[in-house]
Structure 1
Amino acid sequence: MQTGSETAGGNANQSGGVDPQKEAAYWREQHSKQPYAKNYSYEQFEHAYKTGYNSFFKYPGQNFADVEDDIALGYEEEKPGSALPWDTVRPAVNSVWERMAGVISPRDPSRGIRGSI
Structure 2
Amino acid sequence: MPHAPAVNPSAEDAYWREAYRREPYYRAGYSYEDYGPAYRVGYTGPVRRTGEFEQLEGALEADFRRVRGRSRLPWAQAREATRAAWSRVTRGEHPH
Partner of 2:42: 52
Question: Structure 2 matches for 1:1-117, cutoff 5 A?
Answer: 16-39=5-28, 40-60=30-50, 62-80=51-69, 82-83=70-71, 84-103=73-92
Is 2:37–2:68's contact at 8 Å kept on the other side of the alignment? yes
**Equivalent position amino acid for 1:37 in 2:** Y
Shift of 1:41: 1.6
Q: Percent identity?
A: 31
Unaligned runs of 5+ in 1: 1-14, 105-117
How many pairs align?
Answer: 88
- Distance in 2 between the 1:96 and 1:66 partners? 16
Larger Rg: 1
**Runs ≥4 in structure 1, deviation > 4 angstroms?**
none
Over aligned residue pairs, what C-alpha RMSD do you find?
Answer: 1.7
TM-score using structure 2 length: 0.81
Unaligned runs of 5+ in 2: none
Greater relative CO, 1 or 2 (CA 8 Å, sep 6+): 2
- Distance in 2 between the 1:96 and 1:48 partners? 8
**Equivalent position amino acid for 1:97 in 2:** W
